[in-house]
Amino acid sequence: MPPIAFVAALRRAFETISSQIPEARVEALPTGAAPASPRQISSEGIALIKRFEGCARRRADGMVEAYPDPGTGGAPWTIGWGATGHGIGPGTIWTQQQCDDRLLQDIARHAHEVELALAGAPTSQHEFDALVSFHYNTGAIASATLTRRHRAGQKAQAAAEFARWTRAGGRVLRGLVRRREAEARLYRSAAQ
């Protein structure tokens, strides 16, 4: 059973049992997904994330296995389309469907976090897509100078900030250089 279906089944069972205990104060189980953001990433933004994350380590049997972070050679372990976190480590194996489901959950969560960090600043779809890709990879949208510059309307300076995020494990990684260039190009395309 895919993780989302399992969580939904677990929630239904919990609610059924909870409804039979009138004295109990019961709160809904969290699903792990962020509230839906009114602002959605476009197919172009999803394609950018997929291009750089890849769905690596596909085994001969079609399953996908976790791999160590390229910057550290260890944690955080990654699986599918760049998924990290609790329960992902050496020996973790997922189906392609699990990888795809997690990608959609993670993108929704990151889009919501980007929207919160932007605090209503005018943002084109291309800018939003680039910022979601950046945040998906770095997790730094709330603290990045890039975000402060964007909120201040300093779009050229914000675009230049992407290039500062090319290091992992203390060294510049060519893949991160290419990704930041692609994100900055997408971000700037809003002005064209």
Q: Given this model, what pLDDT does residue 169 score?
A: 80
Q: Given this model, what pLDDT does residue 40 score?
A: 93
DSSP string for the chain? --HHHHHHHHHHHHHHHHHT-TTS---PPP-SPPPPPSS---HHHHHHHHHHH----B-TTS-EE-B--TTTSSSSPBBTTTB-STT-STT-EE-HHHHHHHHHHHHHHHHHHHHHHHTT----HHHHHHHHHHHHHH--TTT-HHHHHHHTT-HHHHHHHGGG--EETTEE-HHHHHHHHHHHHHHHGGG-
Q: Given this model, what pLDDT does residue 192 score?
A: 57
Residues sharing a CB contact under 8 Å with residue 38, sequence separation 6 or more, in sequence order: 115
Q: Given this model, what pLDDT does residue 49 score?
A: 97
Instruction: Check if the beta carbon of residue 145 is closer than 8 Å to that of residue 161.
Output: yes
Q: Given this model, what pLDDT does residue 121 score?
A: 97
Architecture (CATH level 2) of domain 32-191: Orthogonal Bundle (1.10)
Q: Given this model, what pLDDT does residue 26 score?
A: 25
**Catalytic (active site) residue 27:** no
As a whole number of angstroms, the distance between CA 110 and CA 102 comes to 12
- Catalytic residue, chosen from 44, 53, 127, 181, is 53
pLDDT means over runs of 10, the chain (192 residues): 45 39 29 59 96 92 92 88 93 96 96 97 97 96 98 98 93 95 95 60
**Would you kindly state where each structural domain of the chain is located, as residue ranges?**
1-31, 32-191
As a whole number of angstroms, the distance between CA 44 and CA 108 comes to 15
The CA-based angle 108-110-113, given to 5 degrees, is 110
Q: How far is CA 111 from CA 35, 46, 54, 72, 164, in A?
A: 10, 11, 19, 26, 21
Instruction: Check if the beta carbon of residue 187 is closer than 8 Å to that of residue 154.
Output: no
Q: Given this model, what pLDDT does residue 11 score?
A: 45
